[in-house]
Amino acid sequence: MIAILVFDLAKVEINSRQFDVPLQNDLLGSAFEKLGQDKRVKVLSALSLLTPSQKEHFDLIRTTRKKYLHLWSSAHDNLSEDDKSCYSAALALVSEQIGGIADGGHFNVPAKLSAYLVERGVIESLPSGG
């Protein structure tokens, strides 16, 4: 879901045309949202929407999930460590997109996310400063 949020917040344009679902279908073979996670991360990376660290976080989560959910022969010896690593990676990805607690204890919402939520009718608006 964070990969989809990153894509939506970016409001990607190609040749001055919004990268909407019909164009996604033409260029990617399906809507971005319907791509597998590996392909989503490759698209985000190709569009320079991820830092190397963010790409590593996405890759860690995907490969670890695959190991436990899709490979019957995979040992579960490192389950606890893998769980902690995936949680930390997910926390880093989420906090970079949705903001966090700022000085004074208020929640600081990035302007892009605030505008995205207003556009979709989730909120009316946020007070200035988050």
Residues 120, 89 share a domain: no
Residues 124, 92 share a domain: no
Task: Determine how many CB atoms are found less than 10 A away from the CB of residue 50.
Answer: 20
Q: Which of 34, 126, 49, 29 is nearest to 93 (CA)?
A: 49
| pTM: predicted TM-score of the whole model, two decimal places | 0.80
pLDDT at 71: 67
Residues 59, 91 share a domain: yes
Decide: 90 and 61 in contact? Cβ < 8 Å. yes
Domain that includes residue 40, residue range: 2-98
- Does 130 have pLDDT greater than 60? no
Q: What is the number of structural domains in the chain?
A: 2
Decide: 61 and 86 in contact? Cβ < 8 Å. yes
pLDDT at 45: 96
Q: Which helix (H) or strand (E) holds 122?
A: none
